[in-house]
Amino acid sequence: MEQIQTELAALHSQIQALRQERAALTTNNVKSSNHDSPLAIVEAYRRQARENPQLAVEIQGIDGAIAALELQLNHKQTELARWKIESKRISQEQELEEAKKVAQIHAERINQLAAELAAEIRLLKASADYLSPMYWQVYYKPFITGFKTISVPYVRSDGVVWTIVNRIV
């Protein structure tokens, strides 16, 4: 991208130099006043071209060079615009991949915590199963309820879409 920008700057400066050279060649040799009519100005430039054909050819060559450089400038600007779009797409893909890696770390941590939580719930259920008969005898109430509907989150992926599901413990 820097190379293209350098080339664009070089083309701009070359075109500007040619325009200045052309302006110097035409204004130094054509004598007209500010009060001349447009027709008089055109006639003065034509007379100057007839009187000095070498200068006219040189000016024509400068005009051709400016046109060629402007065409090259347009191609470079198009190339730069295309490169910026491609660069933005690549940058978005890289950003997406980095964000997916971060999400993967979080998903793995959630799954790890879910496994630990499921193990703790099972241990609590085992304790409740052991204590419940005695608890009923003393308090006439259940010790813990709701074990049938306890779930923990789990993150899974089919490679493209990630889904968070609840796993019943």
pLDDT given at position 112: 95
Q: For residue 124, is it within any domain?
A: yes
pLDDT given at position 137: 92
The sign of the dihedral angle between the CA atoms of 67, 69, 70, 72 is positive
Indicate if 91 and 28 belong to the same structural domain: yes
Torsion of CA 64, 65, 67, 72, to 10 degrees: 140
pLDDT given at position 67: 93
Indicate if 82 and 157 belong to the same structural domain: no
Indicate if 84 and 19 belong to the same structural domain: yes
Q: Among residues 51, 66, 97, which one ends one of the domains?
A: 97
Q: Among residues 51, 70, 97, which one ends one of the domains?
A: 97
Q: For residue 102, is it within any domain?
A: no
Structural domain tally of the chain? 2
Tokens of 77: 């600007």
Report d(CA 76, CA 93) in Å as an integer.
Answer: 25
Q: For residue 20, is it within any domain?
A: yes
Indicate if 25 and 43 belong to the same structural domain: yes
Q: For residue 132, is it within any domain?
A: yes
Cα-based angle 124, 130, 135 (whole degrees, multiple of 5)? 100
Residue range of the domain that includes 61: 2-97
Indicate if 92 and 111 belong to the same structural domain: no
Q: For residue 46, is it within any domain?
A: yes
Residue type, 6: T
List per-residue pLDDT tens for the chain, 169 residues long: 788 888 989 999 999 999 998 888 776 666 666 677 888 888 887 887 788 888 878 888 999 999 999 999 999 898 888 888 888 888 888 888 999 999 999 999 999 999 999 999 999 999 999 999 999 999 998 888 887 888 899 999 887 889 999 888 8
Q: Among residues 97, 116, 133, which one ends one of the domains?
A: 97
Indicate if 12 and 69 belong to the same structural domain: yes
